[in-house]
Structure 1
Amino acid sequence: MSMDIIMPQLGESIAEGTVVKWLVPVGGLIEKDQSLLEVETEKVALEIPSPATGTLSEIIVQEGETVPVGTRLARIESTPLSEVINRVGGVVVRPTEPTPEGHHSPVVRELARKHGVDLSQVTGTGSGGRVTKKDIQDVIARSGAPVTGAPSSGERSMGEEIVPFTQMRRTIAERMVRSRQTSAHVTTFFEADCAGIAKFREGRNLTYLPFVIRAVTRAIREVPVVNSAWGEQGIIVKKDIHVGIATALEDGLLVPVVRHADRKGLTQLAKEVADLAERARSKKLSPEEVQGGTFTITNHGGFGSLFSTPIIHQPQVAILGVGAIQKRAVVINEAIAIRPMGYLSLSFDHRVIDGATADQFMAKVKGYLEQSQWEHIL
């Protein structure tokens, strides 16, 4: 009995997805709920589990291809085939017939011709050993790849490398440019003395980020316009506070959301942020976990950065950047003292928020961070 694998609906507003990687080869046995392939959309990258135990009999959509929701991606035979002859990487596979010479798609042949790639020297990763467009792109991108014929006028020199765009990178690029074109970006900077937090963290497994989230949510309650969006009829002030945490991945960025962050204590915030970040990096997030944010925090100080002018995550109207916390000499009560200080930046949409309002919000965030009593919100 065969079963079709289709591109799932990964969120209400998602219309298409990109097949990033097949995790099981054609002919490989797959267990129910075992990860079958990696899919990337404009909002999330995640692994799709197999709906049944069986054999992956056919791959229809190749790696690197973007297709609409509902497109058939592959076929699984729910009864494993008997002609199993060997094991590769822990997966049982069937032998595949070599690709007949010249049996290539027009796109593959044209790309190979343009870049002088000898198709007979390319190992195909597609169904039945078929050479895919991504195979050709990989050959072109690798320095020293076997090529024949004179290079075309547009070909890169051997001292350069072409890294093909991923769907996530294209989406990030489009959204950053669109945000700049949409919002009137302004950034204001504040500095916060984190001595009270540093003392409270002693002996506790807490980073600075939960304290920042807590300070931000308290300040939002007093300056609610920061937690809003631009609407056709007016400013849409959000009653719920869902804080997005920008999370760097190896090949891009995701913003998982801590829902109702204002209702959670430091310990719960720390656990939830760590869990979301780990699952973002391992592609285990659900689409719902990267949607619905009302305010975003980006912790760019993890690698030592002090200042940043982050771009607003649409359709929100503000984003807070957190720089590295470092000990610096400051003047306190007419005396020089050493304190762990951190710079905070707020990029805001000047269509919605005026400078005075932004500074009022940041002054409250600073005040909450500099308080000395944190025990009551653990």
Structure 2
Amino acid sequence: MGLTSKKVLLLAVVAAVLLFASTVWLWPRLARGGVRPVLGRICLLLMTQVSILAAGGLVANSYFGFYSSWADLLGTDQEMGTVVDHGREGAGQLEVLGTQGVGVPNGGDPRKAGRIEKVEIRGRGTGITAPAYVYLPPQYFQPRYAGTRFPAAVVLTGYPGTAENLITRLKYPQTATRRIQAGAMRPTVLVLMRPTVAPPRDTECVDVPGGPQAESFFTKDLRGAVASHYRVGGQARSWGVIGNSTGGYCAVKMTMRNPGAFSVAVGLSGSYKAPLDPTTGDLFGGSERLKRENDLLWRLDHLPMPPVSVLVASSKEGEGNYRATQAFIAKAKAPLRVSSIILDRGGHNFATWNREVPSALDWLSRRLGMP
């Protein structure tokens, strides 16, 4: 049974409750002196504490989606994917593993609600293989749009979140369908995934010297794989990125650094430079130049403004990036176009991002060009 299995969570909770009840029931019998009663009390306390901690950890992981599997938790899932060619350009880069409906009324009819496809994306140039979900809007399945290519956006979680969070907690597909049905959002294909393409390492969407080429995977391999399999545009004007936390930094950073790949970015609670800590390791191979080039405020001070549109979001109270966000807005000049969502209060959490996602999707879709 997997780490995120409901059966595992239920068993952990039941075990914790039973051990707690057993401790209360057996404690009077173990209250005597002697070696055996003392050892019995120690064992009961240890087992009860461990079971409660395990159940609490599983509940927290189920809610926040820190780890998607036992291998992810233990750090053993580090194998890089291999490229598989099948005789034609673009073949073998994207494989559909399954489909599911969108959790809205009429969600079982893709012509009315769209569809979610679980896929695996294989990077031809980087050798990286990563799982993702692709949301296809209702129009993708309607006969009148049979010859239409759609704009697309990559949707990124934070670190070490899971792609499932984008469906179950932030509800991107459900929100997109409702906004499209209401006429507020233009039909857009969404590629939902986490920025962690070399788990358990937090690469911050950087091409690490001698390591994972995360930025190239998103800006080249992913776009090519999706465009070879789905009816989406191939030019930058038809592609955007939206993300929260680490995903927000990745979205803005990759768009500013690669205007030939993405033309629109949304950073929800994103930072403006990559951290260097035990989860990242040395991202820049000791190069100060690379470190500066991945610092977004430094780029605004020292490099030409990229011709892209960026939406940044923060809160006056509850977010640690508020001052940096204000500095980013103040430094930006044409041809860089900047918009913002600034809440009075809101923490670094799903509740805050759920307040921002609908408006952010509307804004992003209106700025993506139809192929």
Between 1 and 2, higher relative CO (CA 8 Å, sep ≥ 6) is seen in 1
Give me the TM-score of the superposition, normalised by structure 1: 0.25
* Higher share of residues assigned helix: 2
Larger Rg: 1
Give me the TM-score of the superposition, normalised by structure 2: 0.26
* Higher share of residues assigned strand: 1
